[in-house]
Amino acid sequence: MILKICGITNQLDADAAIAAGATAIGFNFYPQSPRYIAPQSAARIATPGVRRVGVFVNEPPPSITEIANVAALDVAQLHGDETPGQYPPGIAVWKAIRVSPDFDFSHWDEHAAEALLLDGPAAELYGGAGRTFDWSLGHNTRHRIIVAGGLDASNVARAISLARPWGVDSCSRIECSPGIKDHMKMIDFLHAAKAALGA
C-alpha cells in the first residue's frame, strides 16, 4: 500500500516521514504552489527505500522528463488537464482527479495510469484544497486508487474502510505552514493508516 506524504520541501520532514512508515514522498513542481520546490533542491533530499513522486500541473512531457531525471523521480502525479496522449513516457503516472457526487468514473476507464489519485473539490484551483469527498465513490472504478484531500489521523481509517484504496496521501492537514510538516500530526497520520491496514 502507498502511504504518501506530499509537499515535502526539506530533509528533516522527509526523514521523519520515512521513519514513521511513509512509502512515498511527494515534491511539488508547480511554480504557483506554496509548496513549490526546485528540482535541484528536491534532488538533494534523500529518500532511501521510498517512491519519489513529482506533482505537476499542465507541464509539457519533455519538461516532466527532464525534471524527473534531475530529481530522480519514480512517479509523475499529474494534476492538470492532461490527456493520456500527453502522459510523459518512461515514468509511472498517477492521474489526479477531483471527485464530485455525480462523478463518472467511466471517463477514466481507458486511461493508462498506474493509479488515479482521488481528491476533493478545489473550485478553480489546481491541486488539492484539503477537502474530503465521499470516499465510498472509490468503488466505482477498476483502477488502483489513492485517496487524498483532507486526510489526517482523525479520518484516514474511515477513508480506508470505505474506499479500500491502494494508497492514501496527506499534505495540508499535517502541516505547521505550507511546506513545513507538523511531525506529530504526520506521524499520527501514518500510524493511523498503518493500523487501519493491519500493517
Counted domains in the chain: 1
Which pLDDT value is given to residue 124?
A: 45
Which pLDDT value is given to residue 120?
A: 76
Closest CA to 94 of 149, 26, 47, 33: 26
Cα 57 from Cα 198, distance rounded (Å) = 34
| Catalytic-role residue among 13, 119, 169, 171 | 119
pLDDT block averages, 10 residues each, the chain of length 199: 97 98 97 96 98 97 98 96 91 91 75 88 52 75 88 96 94 95 98 88
Cα-Cα end-to-end distance for the chain = 10
φ/ψ bin of 162: left (φ > 0), alpha (ψ from -120 to 50), beta (otherwise): alpha
| Catalytic-role residue among 6, 13, 169, 171 | 6
Cα 97 from Cα 121, distance rounded (Å) = 9
Report whether 156 contacts 192 (CB < 8 A). Answer: yes
Does the active-site annotation cover 119? yes
For the domain that residue 77 is a member of, what is the CATH number?
3.20.20.70
Domain that residue 137 falls in: 2-197
